[in-house]
Amino acid sequence: MKTRANNFVMRQQARTARRAFTLIEVLLAMAILGFIITAIYSSWTAILRSAETGNRAAAVAQKQRVARRAIEDALSSVQFFEQNARYYSFFAESSGDFASLSFVSRLPVWFPGSGMFPPTAPRRVSFVVENSGNGKNRLLMRQAPILTPTNSMEKPYTIELSDSVRLFMVEFWDGKQNDWVTDWEKTNQLPALVRVALAFGDPHTRIQPTDVISSVVSLTAASVSAGVQMPAPPGGGPGPMRPGTARPGLTRPGAPGSASPFNPRP
């Protein structure tokens, strides 16, 4: 009887000993837990990095679409009046992979920067490429009122359309040559078609054909001739008088038409 009791006690002690953990088992369990935590952290950081990269790529793509849309909308809204050609001149120059554009447009209210100007008022829009100083070239859009003097100290309203442009080429359809030209020397005329090519990205990489975004813009406006702007009345004679222009036979001071209504006599 005593032997059976001793055997029972020994079996109970053995079971209790088997339920405990050795130091090696504890260290092994801690190592496995550390590996699991490291794997979870690595996966989480990878997700964050990929999300940040995706958001950055989406932002760059959005800026590229905005840049392209701004150029197309501005060209589609161009205006030119020959009676005031010096204010409506169409300028275009090309230098290597970069061009510059400057013209007058009547832009819609949703166009970028319209809140800085009177609604539907025509303004001069310019697109230029400048070096940002860190090896990249940025595409800038400048806007100014149409009557702003060229030597004015007031800076035009500027928006950066892209901070990493590699190509900005503009070509114009010449009806006489029946071909595209890179320089538009007829500043007092509007081209019928404008072809714009853009490429963005690292300036140190070679431009591939698949990197170039090209579009052709048809200018819906045409030059308004002076005769249409200031038509002569039926039967001949002088046309409509502009403010400040004296009418024939009215020489008496203060007579209607002898002075501009915007500069009244003191």
- The Cα–Cα gap between 116 and 143 comes to 9
Question: How many separate domains does the chain show?
Answer: 1
CB half-sphere exposure, 149, CA atoms < 13 A: 4
* pLDDT tens digits, 156-198: 899 999 888 888 999 998 888 888 988 888 888 888 899 999 9
**Is 8 domain-assigned?**
no
**Is 34 domain-assigned?**
no
pLDDT higher than threshold 70 for residue 248: no
Range of the domain at 74: 62-226
pLDDT higher than threshold 60 for residue 263: no
pLDDT value at residue 226: 64
* pLDDT tens digits, 217-239: 988 766 666 666 665 555 555 55
**Is 151 domain-assigned?**
yes
**Is 256 domain-assigned?**
no
